[in-house]
Structure 1
């Protein structure tokens, strides 16, 4: 979700490939062999994984007008990262099935 928001903020067109829970595609395993999980961004044939890393990459690769994280205030950027991770954790925990 975080990655899609970042791409939309930057106005980047993308193709979304869905993964089936429990069955990992060959593309996913080849693109993220360490963690073997989504999200993965393929840009120019190179994989970038982990949502916060991808968001930072998107912010650096695609220029303003919109900046996702504050560039002139490291503390404000850290607070943005904290809340982004908190929201991700809350969404993930609410999706767990007992």
Structure 2
């Protein structure tokens, strides 16, 4: 139960800090990027050297977190940073998850998410 609770908190943190990466500029954006990477490092530490968060099996935590991978390109492009530089195991995990047909067919394309964010920023005047 504790792992589920912590996962929910981390997912909320990823969402909130990721949103601040693409909606802010300057010092506020820098703080958001730093916080985003800190959260990703916590996840990377939990992942360790396992293929998936639950070990050898794709499980609940993987299902909850993998949709954020579709947003990584946008966070990196709009925030001018690379997640892989600080969290290479997270990127390896995401690529491994994307090799699963059920994941690959379900997640939106990263470029389409980026284009969506650009349109949203335009409509919101950001």
- Tell me whether the two structures share a fold, i.e. TM-score over 0.5: no
Report the TM-score when normalising by structure 2: 0.29
- Select the structure that is richer in strand: 1
- Select the structure that is richer in helix: 2
